[in-house]
Structure 1
């Protein structure tokens, strides 16, 4: 392939590899209806998502402390990580089925995904800095679509055995990693040993150029993954009052999450015109408004409620690449990989608290659309934080 074609292919390949790798994220959620009767574990919904988040948090801390994204060629880190995540994703299929082994598998999958999502962002920041907002839009959009993909597989083939679904997703992830390794070169790494600096951790809690975007990102994370984790429950609650015209739960779960890709991509193009800060702020305000309206719109006809879900899905995820852009563009080059990884780690720690709080409320007080107001502080506080940043 000519060099010019290889250069033009880099962003699509990074996007494809990110999509393939992150399809591992919610694979456990997609097969949850099959597992719950077999495991007799009604509380598995919250934990099967939190297990991945806990693994991801642990992984990002290890990757950051060892400065792996900055010490070694980025594409090698990505490939090895995605292969290990894919193997962890299917490891439980070869041992007796127990809740403990399933959750352990999800933790390990999340751990190695720490070398996929943040490392993909570093690749984008390395190669596409002049148009980073747009590149991040495509990249995080791929993550969103990858997250939604297992729901689509479940929705299109309800008889697809859960083993086949898990093996297919793992095969896709490895294929994406290999393609990235073959097409996208890593930026040269220095011969010096790069160490994680305590100052990197300290800057998260001190005034800095990226702190407003970081705090806005944390508010966004309080909402996003809890919405994704409980989307089947949310749609099921809506269906109870519309039993004659119910929405297809896995298909609409896929469509709502996948709409986030459109929000990411369109937001990336818009960021080139008005700046990442404004785009992130407007989308965060929109998702917060959707949270307010959710229980008030439950009587809407299915077609209108479906459109509402698509708007919410696009807004809830669409601000994420712009927060990543603002953080990446304000971070020193020699610590960019570690800083992005560490900020991502704290963001996902917040998701665990949010998901488990929602799961506790559902188990103690019953499922209700009003419970989703628990997520409102995230967009509100995030908007207030990002208003500090007038330069993005």
Structure 2
């Protein structure tokens, strides 16, 4: 049985406990997203994977998430159903999908199919978790969602750490992710909702169009698209970039494993997400997102000029990029939450993540080709287009009267 929801006058302690439990549930459930990423090196030692098969292990999850969020948005699942029940059912289904993967060889067609199912289930975990956090927001929405994004960032970084210290049997990360999902399904049932809940809207496919009709939400989503063009392509290929750069400078004797460097770069984003949330609540959403995208775009261009240079120099710029590239992420979701019809926040967040992750399928593949044909010195520069486009969108949003609803009037 779910715990009683919290009234407006209840304590800060109840809020902290609920958010902590939500974060733990989110981390445990999202482990299924990165399960095969952590084990792909071990898979290579036993099976011959074509580049297409290897990419499919990652892209099938992304594609499943896009499909899941599209269905969820059209049906308004995050606004019309119990949030904890939706999260619980999605996490449990993802856990079963990962358990079934253990019955197949990695080269089987069943694995990407189950990875697709896992991604679709995450549509009931990630945006739903953001809406649960939003029910607790009292002038700190940016920070609360930033904490969730920070948890996602740590999950993205862990496969690099696994690779740095030796490969595990590929079954172990998948089994661990399945158990984590089942744990999340149980824990989320004990997460209490905050006082900022809303009435259930009527079912209407037209509700999804509000993401375009609402001018403020539209510009926030365009900013998010610029951000997502860069983010997942950077996360996907920073390990390959660091490996190639270290080999260029040090041959087979780098000062430390390039996988460890990649872990530090991606994991630094957890700090960036929390710092960005704290700053945006105090100084303004468009200000923080604009500054973050300007910094990350410059890093995307600049890091290529350090390719093959000293490890400390490449890593320093990489860590700065890791912080900047994610510092703005939660603020696009916070902005959409503040600018939307309160009854449709779940649907608007789901649409935002849907279109963002759909775009990542393009940028991830683009960098794969660019690394091959342009070389790593120039490949990442193509990602700078995204944050500079997003910067323009957020500057336009800043000038709208609706922007006064952002961060308590701090724009």
Does 1:106 pair with 2:115? Answer: yes
Please point out which of 367, 370, 377 is paired with 1:358: 367
2:198 and 2:363 map into 1 onto residues whose CA distance is: 38
Q: Structure 1 pair 199/96, CA: closer, same or farther in 2 (3 Å)?
A: closer
| Deviation of 1:81 (Å) | 0.7
More displaced 10-residue stretch of structure 1: 285-294 or 296-305? 296-305
Kindly provide the CA deviation profile for residues 14-40 of structure 1, in whole angstroms up to 9, marking residues without a partner as x.
222222222222222221122235033
2:246 and 2:303 map into 1 onto residues whose CA distance is: 14
Structure 1 unpaired stretches of 5+: none
Q: Structure 1 pair 229/206, CA: closer, same or farther in 2 (3 Å)?
A: same
1:174 and 1:149 map into 2 onto residues whose CA distance is: 20
Partner in structure 2 of residue 60 of structure 1: 69
Does 1:81 pair with 2:90? Answer: yes
| Deviation of 1:159 (Å) | 4.3
Q: Is this contact kept in 2: 1:221–1:348, CA < 8 A?
A: yes
More displaced 10-residue stretch of structure 1: 290-299 or 279-288? 290-299
| Deviation of 1:200 (Å) | 2.6
SS in 1 for 2:32: coil
Kindly provide the CA deviation profile for residues 115-168 of structure 1, in whole angstroms up to 9, marking residues without a partner as x.
111001111112214310111111111111122223333434x14211112211
SS in 2 for 1:387: helix
| Deviation of 1:328 (Å) | 1.0
Q: Is this contact kept in 2: 1:64–1:341, CA < 8 A?
A: yes
Kindly provide the CA deviation profile for residues 173-228 of structure 1, in whole angstroms up to 9, marking residues without a partner as x.
332332221132477775x6731432432x33345122222111000000111111
SS in 2 for 1:39: coil
Q: Structure 1 pair 249/85, CA: closer, same or farther in 2 (3 Å)?
A: farther
Q: Structure 1 pair 210/380, CA: closer, same or farther in 2 (3 Å)?
A: same
Partner in structure 2 of residue 147 of structure 1: 156
Partner in structure 1 of residue 242 of structure 2: 235
2:254 and 2:242 map into 1 onto residues whose CA distance is: 12
| Deviation of 1:45 (Å) | 4.0
| Deviation of 1:362 (Å) | 4.4
1:240 and 1:115 map into 2 onto residues whose CA distance is: 41
1:92 and 1:68 map into 2 onto residues whose CA distance is: 27
Please point out which of 316, 319, 324 is paired with 2:333: 324
SS in 2 for 1:389: helix
2:61 and 2:346 map into 1 onto residues whose CA distance is: 21
Q: Structure 1 pair 193/317, CA: closer, same or farther in 2 (3 Å)?
A: closer
SS in 2 for 1:325: helix
More displaced 10-residue stretch of structure 1: 71-80 or 8-17? 8-17
More displaced 10-residue stretch of structure 1: 142-151 or 229-238? 142-151
Q: Structure 1 pair 245/110, CA: closer, same or farther in 2 (3 Å)?
A: same
Please point out which of 271, 274, 298 is paired with 2:280: 271
More displaced 10-residue stretch of structure 1: 353-362 or 260-269? 353-362
Q: Is this contact kept in 1: 2:80–2:201, CA < 8 A?
A: yes
Q: Structure 1 pair 193/294, CA: closer, same or farther in 2 (3 Å)?
A: closer
Kindly provide the CA deviation profile for residues 223-275 of structure 1, in whole angstroms up to 9, marking residues without a partner as x.
11111111221111112212232542332222221111100101111112211
1:193 and 1:384 map into 2 onto residues whose CA distance is: 33
Partner in structure 1 of residue 212 of structure 2: 205
Does 1:387 pair with 2:390? Answer: no
| Deviation of 1:331 (Å) | 0.7
Structure 2 unpaired stretches of 5+: 404-410
SS in 2 for 1:130: coil
Would you say how many aligned residue pairs link Structure 1 and Structure 2? 388
> Over the residues paired in the alignment, what is the CA RMSD in angstroms?
2.3
